[in-house]
Amino acid sequence: MRLVRAIGQVALAVLNTVGAVSLFALRGLAALLTGPWFFGQLLRQLSAIGFFSLPVVGLTAVFTGAALALNIYVGGGRFNAEQIMPQIVALGITRELGPVLAALMLAGRVSATIAAEIGAMRATEQIDAMRTLSTDPFRYLVVPRLVAAVIALPLLTVVADTIGIAGGWLVATRFLDFNATVYVRNTVDFIEGWDVVSGLIKATAFGFIVALMGCYYGYTASGGARGVGRASTHAVVAAAMLIFASDYLMSFWFSRL
Amino acid sequence: MRGQWIETLMGFVVLALAAAFLIYVVRVGGFEGVRRGYEVSARFGDVGSLAPGATVSVAGVKIGTVSRVSLDPKTYLAQVDLAIDPEIKLPADSSAKITSDSLLGGVHVAVAAGGSPEDLKPGGEIENTQGAVDLFGLIGQVVRPQPSGDPANED
Amino acid sequence: MTRPPPKLEWRGVSKRFGAEPVLNRLNLTVPAGCSLVIIGGSGQGKSVMIKLALGLIRPDAGKLLLDGKALPGLGGRLQRRLYGKAGVLFQGAALFDSLSVWENVAFRLINADGVPRKTARRRALAALERVKLDPDIAERFPSELSGGMQKRVGLARAIAADPEILFFDEPTTGLDPITAAVINDLIVDQVKRLGCTTLSITHDLASARRIGDEIAMLHEGQIVWRGPAADLDRTDHPQVRAFVDMQSA
């Protein structure tokens, strides 16, 4: 009986959170559609979320591309198919790893920052203060971050795709005796527009998730400095889990098209 | 922003590297590519999984790449364009064969040099060709010599 | 009787957090032009009163009236009109730490009133001057300022748009007596200059005496005593006595 009650409580809590997050997202969309809009804030967030994430995303992509190339070379070698390595690397990067890795780096970097920023503003009454200054914190704080992440993540994914493939190319030509030109040609001839586009669609959804989790947990933070820390952690964990889950759902859906 | 110049710089470095690689890809990737070497063509009955970018070799040494694979609408033969290193002159009566270097994929064009004193001219055609061998068809034939009808072969 | 309605009125307002009742059918009026100070120990719901008046939280029962009209709470049109007329100095100053000092002071002008940045900056510098801050700090960030200076910037932000009502939430908490006295004087100056209605909450009696025309004591969710500032030492109301004596001891 006690177990049933505990399970019921957990289930209710989960449903509660799902409902609260959905409402939060809808409120964000409504604010986005009705304005006023703070373009200065949007530019600021684009640079913070997008541009300053380039180093981590680039670094992650180049190493992943290189490691992926080595592993596929080894795996392909088990049935003498090393030569298809460029195609598999390109496919893996554009459809899956580019968007997912960029999103995960953003979850670690941006979700945490957003949750901490907004959470600290909540804890020090800055959000209340903003409202008394006739400015809607939702439009000033949340909407620019959501929009910036939705714009920035696909762009970062394009960079991650390019650099990831470059990483594979680098290993293949330096250590595995592939011809540089042939590698590139094989990649270009094999990759279809949809491989890249489906990755970018994923990235758009991930961008929304990353910013939404940061904003939601920051906005609802309570309990001072500890609450802010907790909000940060929750935002990163929730963003990462949602990225993986939605990645599978979207891959499944795309594979049926 | 104060103290962020190094991050700004890193951002630009990443962008520059990505752009450099993209430019390289566009240049060699065959988008109206800077074509090096001269083109010859060959027609095959079956090219298998031959794709642009595949190696063209003589005696196992690479001399060029496949630049285009298309279907000749009249003869229903596969038309393959080869970009050959300008320093290599192939005899006019050379023959081309599609061979695979592994069980899955990795198909390339092997050219056997002929004995003619005349060279194959740019835009010329290698007339003596041998298409890809359907490996799985061959395996199938070995495993099951007679497809059906013989009760003795059934378990 | 054609007396004008009070500027701000709490009518039978109740609020509870969980099972804990914080305000219990509270009734209070603030006449226009009056400076009312609410005193009371911590945890008596003083902050909640201000947050309710500002529409930052909703009452469970009762209503808030501005100029005799009910405030609908969170985001309503009247609520926004109140914000347009109100200035608030928060307990921790609540300055935006990603913005420079002058951008903080000019926040409403730039983001809500659509004043061009140049004009807004000029008005922000004027507001800084009124709270006796050097214009040199305009480009600095809040984290680079001392607590007393942050409070002054907060005050400058509250008065920058010439409000009709000013709210002060524990204006002297966390400050040394000398800085607190400076802040009190600045508040009195500005309230006089603007001729506005003010509502302050504090547990600092020195501050209450300096700022307030009238003082009201909040105890267990209700106003238990109200009178002119001078009466504070003469009343024999037990809770007020206890509070006053404890602070003078």
Evaluate the omega torsion of the peptide bond into residue B147 and state whether it is cis, within 30 degrees of 0: no
Let me know if residue B155 belongs to a domain: no
First to last CA, chain C: 45
Instruction: State the virtual CA torsion across C41, C46, C47, C48 in degrees, nearest 10.
Output: 130
User: Which residues on chain B are in Cβ contact (under 8 Å) with A196?
Assistant: none
Q: Which of A92, A45, A121, A51 is nearest to A195 (CA)?
A: A92
Let me know if residue B71 belongs to a domain: yes
Helix (H) or strand (E) holding B77: none
Tell me the pairing of strands C8-17 and C61-66. Answer: antiparallel
- Architecture per CATH, domain C8-248, reads as 3-Layer(aba) Sandwich (3.40)
Count CA atoms within 13 Å of residue C151 on its CB side. 22
The partner residue sitting opposite A140, judged by closest CB among C88, C91, C111, is: C111
Structural domain tally of chain B? 2
Q: Which of A60, A142, A171, A64 is nearest to A109 (CA)?
A: A60
Rounded-to-integer distance, Cα A80 and Cα A87, Å:
15
Q: With an 8 Å Cβ cutoff, are B53 and A163 in contact?
A: no
Q: With an 8 Å Cβ cutoff, are A82 and B54 in contact?
A: no
How far lies C240's CA from each of A170, C149, C231, in Å? 80, 32, 11
**Token code pair at residue C245:** 């004596």
**Beta-sheet strand order (sheet of C20-30):** C20-30, C8-17, C61-66, C69-70
Helix (H) or strand (E) holding C193: helix C177-194
Does residue A84 belong to the interface with chain B, where contact is any CB pair within 8 Å? Answer: yes
Range of the domain at B28: 1-34
Predicted confidence at residue A247, as pLDDT, reads 94
Do B42 and B11 lie in one domain? The reply is no
The secondary structure of residue C80, as a DSSP letter, is H
User: Which residues on chain A are in Cβ contact (under 8 Å) with B54?
Assistant: 182
Is there a contact between C211 and C170 (Cβ–Cβ < 8 Å)? Answer: no
Let me know if residue B87 belongs to a domain: yes
3-state secondary structure chain A: CHHHHHHHHHHHHHHHHHHHHHHHHHHHHHHHHHCCCCHHHHHHHHHHHHHHHHHHHHHHHHHHHHHHHHHHHHHHHCCCCHHHHHHHHHHHHHHHHHHHHHHHHHHHHHHHHHHHHHHHHHHCCHHHHHHHCCCCHHHHHHHHHHHHHHHHHHHHHHHHHHHHHHHHHHHHHHHCCCCHHHHHHHHHHHCCHHHHHHHHHHHHHHHHHHHHHHHHHHHCCCCHHHHHHHHHHHHHHHHHHHHHHHHHHHHHHHHHC
Q: With an 8 Å Cβ cutoff, are A129 and C88 in contact?
A: yes
Do B87 and B24 lie in one domain? The reply is no
The partner residue sitting opposite A134, judged by closest CB among C80, C94, C95, is: C80
| Range 136-175 of A in CB contact (< 8 A) with B | 159, 162-163, 165-166, 169
Count CA atoms within 13 Å of residue A77 on its CB side. 7
Instruction: Give me the average pLDDT of each 10-residue run along chain C (249 residues).
Output: 73 82 84 86 80 81 78 59 80 87 89 86 88 86 87 88 86 84 87 87 84 85 84 80 76
Torsion sign over Cα C224, C230, C235, C239 = positive
User: Which residues on chain C are in Cβ contact (under 8 Å) with A131?
Assistant: 54, 56, 83
Q: With an 8 Å Cβ cutoff, are A52 and B7 in contact?
A: yes
- Chain B's closest residue to A158, CA to CA, is B18
Does residue B104 belong to the interface with chain A, where contact is any CB pair within 8 Å? Answer: yes
User: Which residues on chain A are in Cβ contact (under 8 Å) with C165?
Assistant: none
Do B113 and B134 lie in one domain? The reply is yes
Number of helical H runs and strand E runs in chain C: 9, 10
Please give the model's pTM, rounded to 2 decimal places.
Answer: 0.77
Predicted confidence at residue B3, as pLDDT, reads 60
Does residue C54 belong to the interface with chain A, where contact is any CB pair within 8 Å? Answer: yes
User: Which residues on chain A are in Cβ contact (under 8 Å) with B25?
Assistant: 165, 184, 187-188
Dihedral pair phi/psi, residue A108, rounded to 5°: -70, -40
Alpha-carbon radius of gyration of chain C: 18
**Token code pair at residue B108:** 């390339």
Is there a contact between C162 and C194 (Cβ–Cβ < 8 Å)? Answer: yes
Do B51 and B9 lie in one domain? The reply is no
Helix (H) or strand (E) holding C207: helix C205-211
Predicted confidence at residue B34, as pLDDT, reads 42
Predicted confidence at residue A55, as pLDDT, reads 92
Over chain A, what is the mean pLDDT?
90
Does ipTM top 0.90? no
The partner residue sitting opposite A188, judged by closest CB among B29, B103, B106, is: B29
The partner residue sitting opposite B15, judged by closest CB among A54, A83, A188, is: A54
Let me know if residue B152 belongs to a domain: no
Is there a contact between A179 and B54 (Cβ–Cβ < 8 Å)? Answer: no
Do B2 and B72 lie in one domain? The reply is no
Do B22 and B84 lie in one domain? The reply is no
Do B29 and B63 lie in one domain? The reply is no
The secondary structure of residue C144, as a DSSP letter, is G
Do B15 and B76 lie in one domain? The reply is no
Is there a contact between B102 and A80 (Cβ–Cβ < 8 Å)? Answer: yes
User: Which residues on chain A are in Cβ contact (under 8 Å) with C157?
Assistant: 133
The partner residue sitting opposite B30, judged by closest CB among A82, A165, A188, is: A188
Q: How far is A116 from chain B (nearest CA, A)?
A: 20
Do B55 and B111 lie in one domain? The reply is yes
Domain boundaries, chain C: 8-248
Which parts of chain A sit beneath pLDDT 70? Answer: none
Q: With an 8 Å Cβ cutoff, are C90 and A140 in contact?
A: no
Does residue B7 belong to the interface with chain A, where contact is any CB pair within 8 Å? Answer: yes
User: Which residues on chain A are in Cβ contact (under 8 Å) with C80?
Assistant: 134
Does residue A87 belong to the interface with chain C, where contact is any CB pair within 8 Å? Answer: no
Does residue B54 belong to the interface with chain A, where contact is any CB pair within 8 Å? Answer: yes
Per-residue pLDDT of chain B (155 residues; tens, 9 = 90+): 456 788 888 889 999 999 999 888 888 765 544 446 788 888 888 887 777 777 788 888 878 888 888 888 888 888 888 888 877 888 888 888 888 765 555 678 888 888 888 888 888 888 888 877 776 677 777 777 655 545 544 44
Q: How far is A222 from chain B (nearest CA, A)?
A: 30
User: Which residues on chain B are in Cβ contact (under 8 Å) with A163?
Assistant: 14, 17-18, 21
Of the residues B12, B23, B25, B69, the best mutation for testing chain A's interface (the one with the most A CB atoms within 10 Å of its CB) is: B25
